[in-house]
Structure 1
Amino acid sequence: MVKKKSKEPKGRKITPKMAKNAVKLTTDGKRRLDLSNMEITTFPKCILKLCDVDELDLSRNMLKKIPDTINRFVNLRLLDLHSNHLEQLPETIGHLQKLQNLNLCNNRLTSYGIPHTMGLLRNLQKLNLGMNRIGTVPLFIAGLKDLCELGLFNNLLTQIPVWLQNLPNLNRLNVKCNPLPIENPPKLDPIRRVECLYLVRKDCLCSECLRKCKEERDMLDQRLSGNSVQRETIIARLITTNSTKQGDEAVGR
């Protein structure tokens, strides 16, 4: 009997040596383990031996699951998991008490896939949940009193809770590209909204993202070409007007 080949990508295997060589010092002297864009499909167990690092970057891979053992990285101040295939996070992520920056952008997370234990991250200052499948703002965010920046853009939110205004340090909020009712916009005037930009290679994007990028690029080109025609028309009018005025002055002389 012939076994059917799995359609799932096999992914790249990370060896202990590769992981050790991927540890770099940041500008402020912290140790950062950078395994981003490495075509990883499963969480490398070998990096648990490097759990004393201050920053962990596993972004732009194909991870579907983060194991409970993530709680061993007790010194983490930054955890970057953006642009993976995550649908759920382990409850043990709430044990990372020193975490200040958590990036979960561009995954497949729903409201049910985000554990309430994330409310234990009392030192969290930046949380990016943009480009997921979140239908309601997670309640645990109300307990993150040190939170300064919150990204909820490109989700499935139909309303923004008023209690977000009660977060004492929140000064940056991005809720763009959600199906929010136009007739009842969120009353968050005191909170400044900002854009979030990520640069990725074209071959890292799915067909749907490529289509959206092409549509936006075409719209931008149309706007630019329209502005160019408008400027040329204005210049032509100015030239014509000046030429007529000069001719009238010549006749007067």
Structure 2
Amino acid sequence: MAKGKKKAGPKGKKITLKIAKNSLKMTIDGKRRLDLSNMGIATFPKCILKLADVDELDLSRNMLKKIPDYIDKFQNLRWLDFHSNKIEHLPDTIGQLKNLYYLNLCNNKLTSTNLPVEIGQLKNLRILNLGMNYIECLPSSIAALKELQELGLFDNSLTGLPEIIVKLPKLKKVNTTRNPLPKPDDDQDLDTIKRVESLYLVNEAGLCRPCSNKCKDERDRLNKLRSSAPSQKKSNFSGLLTPNSTAQETQALWR
């Protein structure tokens, strides 16, 4: 390496328009989905601007460090997934995606200072996942997300539960596990919020190494709890099917 030159970062896979077009899929409800996940992409492929009319965009599990300002060109987006990248900054223009109802930014390098107030302009947003970042507090504009139903804040640096959360009228689920939070007071007004872990049935081979290790550790912990717990007679609820019962039946597929 020549003296004075910085070591170049990963170039990543180059995405051409042809590759992008071949990655177009149709969802069950007839929407156009551009799936460029897990393809080793290090730079947002500008060529996909020619496909800016897609309804869903998946760039998860890549090496992206930046979301470009021109993300606002994707005006039809209702579903946007950037989880498991290296994103350090969210552009102000993210607030222009008025149709967006799902936004996943989990497992990146976002901090509180890099969350723009414009995120509060996403009036139709229902699911927001900010888990596994470096967030210490949320922008006050989050309180404007009146349609928000699920909020992921797990594995961050929150030292206090944001008061704005209890002001969200439709919020049903918020996950703040593995944050340096103090024990909540008994009289804390969180009746409308359930602290839950989201369960995703995925192929383990598709997980990044940190996620895979975290799943393994959690699975080992649960197995220890089960082995030490006294046996109880299983209740019989005939005709009742729950997500957990389905997960148990199919656990061999996703472990």
Equivalent position SS for 2:25: strand
**Are positions 1:64 and 2:92 aligned together?**
no
Identical amino acids, percent of aligned pairs: 58
TM-score normalized by structure 1?
0.81
Partner of 1:32: 33
Tell me the amino acid that sits aligned with residue 152 of structure 1: L
Partner of 2:208: 205
Aligned residues of 2:204 and 2:212 also touching (Cα < 8 A)? no
Equivalenced residue count is 228
In 2, Cα distance between the equivalents of 1:5 and 1:179? 37
CA RMSD of aligned residues (A): 2.4
Partner of 1:166: 167
In 2, Cα distance between the equivalents of 1:65 and 1:132? 15
Structure 2 gaps of 5+ residues are 232-255
1:97-112 to structure 2, matched below 5 A, reads: 97-112=98-113
Aligned residues of 1:162 and 1:187 also touching (Cα < 8 A)? no
In 2, Cα distance between the equivalents of 1:190 and 1:183? 15
Measure how far apart 1:174 and its partner are.
Answer: 1.1
For residues 178-212 of structure 1, the C-alpha deviation after alignment (integer angstroms, 9 at most, x for no partner) is 11112647531221232124546458534x65655
Aligned residues of 2:171 and 2:192 also touching (Cα < 8 A)? no
Tell me the amino acid that sits aligned with residue 190 of structure 2: L
Tell me the amino acid that sits aligned with residue 111 of structure 2: T
- Bigger proportion of residues as helix: 1
Equivalent position SS for 1:24: strand
In 1, Cα distance between the equivalents of 2:227 and 2:86? 38
Cα separation, partners in 2 of 1:209 and 1:183, compared to 1, 3 Å: same
For residues 12-40 of structure 1, the C-alpha deviation after alignment (integer angstroms, 9 at most, x for no partner) is 11111110011111000000000011111
Measure how far apart 1:53 and its partner are.
Answer: 0.3
1:96-245 to structure 2, matched below 5 A, reads: 96-182=97-183, 184=185, 187-198=189-200, 199=202, 201=204, 204-206=207-209, 212-226=214-228
Rg larger in structure: 1
Equivalent position SS for 1:65: coil
Cα separation, partners in 2 of 1:222 and 1:145, compared to 1, 3 Å: closer
Equivalent position SS for 2:194: coil
In 2, Cα distance between the equivalents of 1:205 and 1:174? 21
Measure how far apart 1:57 and its partner are.
Answer: 0.4
Equivalent position SS for 2:195: coil
Partner of 2:236: none
TM-score normalized by structure 2?
0.80
